[in-house]
Structure formats: structure tokens, C-alpha cells
Structure 1
């Protein structure tokens, strides 16, 4: 029995053949499913600004738009846009509350906080070192 290939974006199985997979991956349903998945990782502020510029899609709100997320018109309802606005506001608020990181100790105490192996070399001590030691 032949192997089958599972598309994670579309959630479907197909014959594990290069030509079949290429045909599937170039199809509109796969492209939309992949775009929808990747859109989850976009910045909400970016999505909000893009969607605010679009007019509402009449086809989508009547029930079906074949262009889905590639449509030139907006597919977000007013309620969804308000939720997105709240999310963006919450993100901005949490970013403003973040504390500044503490300064590293060696930047204020002239390398005192560094372990000896990471401190800069002192050339005066290096000149007085005896490298003529017998090891082992």
C-alpha cells in the first residue's frame, strides 16, 4: 500500500507523490489555510491597522467569500475589531509596565564583578610573570 502525506495546514491526507503535493500546495484552499495559520503570529496592532482601512466585505457578511483572507475587503465584524482594539491596548499597557533591566555589575565597578578569566589582561602583571615553569 502506498504512503500518504498529511497537510498540517489543511488537515487532509493525500497521495505521497511530488506532483500531487505540488498541485495541493499551489491550490487556493491550501494557500488560504496556510495564510490563516501564519496570521495567528502577526502583531495585533498591525492586523488592526490593516483592517481599519478596509471596507466591510458584503459577500463575507452574507455568508461566503471565496477570497477569504486574500479579499480586499474586511472580514472582521465591529465586535471583533473592538476585541482586537482591547488586545492592542492591553499589549501597549503591559509593554509600558516592563521594568528596565538591571545594569551589569562590571559596567559600574570597573570589571570588579567579572570572574578572573573574563577580566581584561593587566599587562604589568603579565610582564612580571615567569613563563619558564616546568609543568608536570
Structure 2
């Protein structure tokens, strides 16, 4: 039998392109773990650090393998990895503080009209009265 097959990006596997097969696969524990692992890459490092600091080390993981992976209630990070994560959080915090230090003011002077572009300056009524609006166009 031919036909197109469906590729799961999270699990890196092919399956029959059938709605029931895909639903069964997406509800499975292996797909859920693979998807969680993938999405964890985009989590905030500060959030991960605070969660992992609260946990105690996992004996199964330190022995070689823990079947619960990210759903384990124990920490799977070594002290060295936690320190690296802490460095990442500190560098992110410093870069944010530098960005906040810059003022969000307009690049021109706000206390006087001279620094503003013409479209933002107040209308000069005397100049407006002098304008001749009866010009012939074309």
C-alpha cells in the first residue's frame, strides 16, 4: 500500500497519515515527553533555575537513567549545570538593566519646539494667515 506518511517533528518518526493514528500518537506518553523536552528549550532560564533549585537530586538519574525525564519530581541538573544556568540568568538580568537605563525619550528635545520635526511642531497661526491657498495647480 502506498500513500503519504505523517512525520512527527517532536519524536522524529513517521506514521500512517490517518487521523486516528495521529491522535493516538499525540496522546501517547513518549510524544508528550518529546514535546515537553522541545518546548523546555524556550522556557525562561530564571523559571527553570528556581524550579530546579527547589528539588533534591534524582538518584535514578545520577545512576544513569530516569524514566520520568522532565516529569520527575527530582532534579536532573548537576551542580555545575546549575551554576552555568545561574550565569545565564545573571547575564540576562544585566542586559535587561542596561536596556532599562536608556531613556525612552524622543531623540529630539522635548522641552522646546525647535528640536521637533515639522509635523509635530505647534501650528504658527501668523504664518498660516500669510499663506496663499488660491494657487492654481497643474
Q: Deviations over 1:111-136 (max 9, x none)?
A: 8533x5x4478595889988888877
Q: Normalising to structure 2: TM-score of the pair?
A: 0.77
Q: Normalising to structure 1: TM-score of the pair?
A: 0.78
1:1-136, aligned counterparts within 5 Å? Answer: 1-98=2-99, 99-101=101-103, 103=105, 104-105=107-108, 107-110=110-113, 113-114=116-117, 116=118, 118-119=119-120, 122=123
Contact 2:49 2:86 in 1 (8 A): yes
Q: Distance in 1 between matches of 2:94 and 2:121?
A: 41
Structure 2, unmatched stretches of 5+, are: none
State the 1:66 CA deviation.
1.7
Q: Deviations over 1:28-47 (max 9, x none)?
A: 11111111111111111111
Contact 2:113 2:122 in 1 (8 A): no
Structure 1, unmatched stretches of 5+, are: none
Moved over 3 A (4+): 106-112, 118-136
Aligned length: 134
Instruction: Summarize the Cα distance change of 1:128–1:15 in structure 2 as closer, same or farther, 3 Å threshold.
Output: farther
Contact 2:45 2:89 in 1 (8 A): yes
Q: Deviations over 1:78-126 (max 9, x none)?
A: 1111111121122222223335145242744448533x5x447859588
